[in-house]
Amino acid sequence: MHNISQWIQTHAAFTPDKVAIIEKQQSYTYGQLEQRISQTARLLKHQLRIGRGDRVAYLGFNSSEFLCLVFACARLGALFIPMNWRLTTPEFDHILEDASPSVVVCSQVFQPQLQPLCNKHPDCHFVAQDFTTPGWLNLPRMAAQATEDQRVDENPHVNLDSPLLIVYTSGTTGQPKGAVLTQNSLFYNALNSVHMHDMHSQDCILTVLPMFHVGGLNIQTLPALYCGATVILHDRFDPQRTLQAIQHDQPSLIVLVPATIQAIMDQPQWQHHLSSLRSITTGSSVVPDALLEPFRALRLPVQQVYGLTETAPIAVYQSAAQALEKESSTGLAALHCDMQLVDKHGLSVAQGEIGQIRIKGPNVMFEYWGNPQATAQALHNGWFDTGDLGYLDTDGHLVVTDRAKDMIISGGENVYPAELEKLLYTIPGVRDAAVVGRHHDKWGETPVAIVVKHSDSDLAAEDILTYFHGRLARFKHPQEVIFVDDLPRNVMGKVQKFLLRAML
């Protein structure tokens, strides 16, 4: 295998009539998907002069065009940049400045955000996916001109070691960086996913999370296409539409983050719509036990997965059986990963002791794009330093406690916000919660609880402060409670704690 687009070529040869993608009542077989990928590769090469090492960016909701561009770039040895559609014009400008793509494909709804940047980036072709406007190339017209006599020969310099994705990190700590994932990263991530989900060609995957993030693209979507399975593609997440699709289309697997699981559970009679699912996969942020209990009652496994953009992301996970048996565990190192927990000196910690999580494997990123200093800080002899903290329980399963940078040091004692947040979620009336540290002249830092109440709750700050008595050591107690309407979260559900700290 020279590049991952051969997954689609091979399925098109073996099972050309098998449905690969369903979107908006339209289905594409593997044979049709291969034709569309070939057409996309031809227009990129012959009309836009894209070759090995060039960058192609995409700004739009989930779509089959998105996936065709991924595999076309893989065939050409180009790099694909999925852009977060929740960003603003200055943030898009940062990505264009940083990665210097030769092409940006954009859907109509986001054209206003990119239009001010056209003159600023004259070397970049701005391509309209589904609209016509002066100064922009038109993707459908170009596709019609991509004739079959325009060959895209196999490039001997393109292989699994070739970089394929530049995925900008979610920016929970500030300015995002572009993590470079090779084709090999995606191949081994797919193998990890197959092992985690026991995934096979008869599976049907429902993708509702945004594919500009590795959670939406790589946990199940690309692995499903590696397996020859079927992907039902929603442009965006909508809880009611998701439940209707599960009932009508009968998918077997889905990825949901805790925030979207909660949105599902807020729908009436939600439990009666899930019978086709054999498991749900979740991760990206702290998963409260209270969120999982209704699914355990249904005997529906909610498998936790741990990883980051830089690990493609699958690095640690539970099997379906483990998800039903164990609470508060993220699982074991992935089939093609190694994991170690180290202290601040880089030495391994004993089982049960909290250490910093490191991951090693062929799925780990190649580098941060154009940032050798950040790359050197993150990679140590092949080990990726996640910046997260955790410990191994008595069964050797990883329990993630917090991010190292979120840890609060109060009076010389380490306070892990996730431990407090887990307790906050058990308080009646608390809908959402986060804990951050605030500077204190005497103690260095003290914990502050930021809480979102249920709309019908009359919960008071004193009720929350009292709740901690006898449940956690005194030095861990929040010193203040602040009620807000919502917590700032990125698209994968992670609380942006740097914004909360700035607020304080």
> How sure is the predictor about 407, in pLDDT bands with cuts at 50, 70 and 90?
confident
Residue with tokens 């697997």: 253
pLDDT at 319 over 50: yes
Q: Classify 415 as helix, strand or coil.
A: strand
Tens digits of residue pLDDT in 426-446: 999 999 999 999 988 777 789
Tens digits of residue pLDDT in 461-473: 999 999 998 888 7
| 165-169, 172-176, 314-318: the lowest-pLDDT one | 172-176
Structure tokens at 175: 């300015």
Residue with tokens 């719509």: 273
The whole-number pLDDT of residue 172 equals: 45
Beta bridge partners of 389: 356, 402
> How sure is the predictor about 81, in pLDDT bands with cuts at 50, 70 and 90?
very high
- Dihedral sign for Cα 368, 372, 374, 376, please: positive
Bigger pLDDT: 94 vs 195: 195
Q: What is the largest CA-CA distance in the chain?
A: 75
> How sure is the predictor about 413, in pLDDT bands with cuts at 50, 70 and 90?
confident
Structure tokens at 10: 């091979």
> How sure is the predictor about 170, in pLDDT bands with cuts at 50, 70 and 90?
low
The whole-number pLDDT of residue 382 equals: 92
Label residue 143 exposed, middle or buried (CB < 10 Å: 0-12, 13-18, 19+).
middle
pLDDT at 171 over 60: no
Beta bridge partners of 493: none
Bigger pLDDT: 86 vs 272: 272
Q: Which residues contact 474 (CB under 8 A, 6 or more apart)?
A: none
Q: What percentage of the chain carries pLDDT values higher than 90?
A: 77
The whole-number pLDDT of residue 173 equals: 47
| Element at 80 (helix H, strand E) | strand 79-82
pLDDT at 284 over 90: no
pLDDT at 403 over 90: no
pLDDT at 282 over 90: yes
The whole-number pLDDT of residue 489 equals: 86
The whole-number pLDDT of residue 9 equals: 97
pLDDT at 174 over 60: no
Structure tokens at 159: 């292989």
- Tell me which range, 79-93, 106-120, 399-413, is most confidently predicted by mean pLDDT: 106-120
pTM of the model: 0.86
Residue type, 405: K
| 51-55, 160-164, 280-284, 487-491: the lowest-pLDDT one | 487-491
Tens digits of residue pLDDT in 152-166: 877 878 999 999 999
Alpha carbons 421 and 417: distance in angstroms, whole number: 6
pLDDT at 149 over 80: no
Q: Number of C-alpha atoms within 13 angstroms, CB side, residue 257?
A: 22
Structure tokens at 191: 């193998």
Query: For the chain, what is the mean pLDDT?
Result: 92
Average pLDDT over residues 230-238: 97
Alpha carbons 457 and 325: distance in angstroms, whole number: 33
| 289-298, 341-350, 371-380: the lowest-pLDDT one | 289-298
Residue with tokens 């983050």: 257
The domains found in the chain, sorted by start residue, are 26-159 (3.40.50.980), 184-403 (3.40.50.12780), 407-503 (3.30.300.30)
The whole-number pLDDT of residue 129 equals: 96
Alpha carbons 32 and 12: distance in angstroms, whole number: 8
